[in-house]
Amino acid sequence: MRPDPNCRLCGLCEGRTHIVLPDGDPSTGIFLVGEAPGENEDIQARPFVGRSGKILEGMMADAGLKRSDVVITNTVKCRPPGNRDPTKEEMAACRPFLDSELEDAKLVVGLGKSACRDLMGFEGAMAEIVNVPTTITVNGRQVPFIPTYHPAATIYKKNSRAELARTMRIIAEEYR
Contact residues toward ligand URA (CB under 6 A) are 34-38, 41, 47-48, 50, 52, 74
Q: Of the two residues 3 and 34, which places its CB atom closer to ligand URA in the complex?
A: 34
Q: Which residues, listed in sequence order, are joined to residue 71 by a DSSP beta bridge?
A: 24, 31
CA distances (Å), 170 to each of 89, 90, 143, in order?
32, 31, 16
Q: Of the two residues 141 and 157, which places its CB atom closer to ligand URA in the complex?
A: 157
CA distances (Å), 66 to each of 25, 51, 115, 151, 163, in order?
10, 17, 21, 16, 19
- The nearest distance, CB 24 to ligand URA, in angstroms, is 12
Q: Of the two residues 51 and 176, which places its CB atom closer to ligand URA in the complex?
A: 51
CB 133 within 8 A of CB 148: no
Identity at 119, one-letter amino acid code: L
- The nearest distance, CB 70 to ligand URA, in angstroms, is 14
Q: Of the two residues 15 and 174, which places its CB atom closer to ligand URA in the complex?
A: 15
- The nearest distance, CB 169 to ligand URA, in angstroms, is 21
- The nearest distance, CB 34 to ligand URA, in angstroms, is 3
Cβ-based neighbours of 84, under 8 Å, separated by 6 or more? none
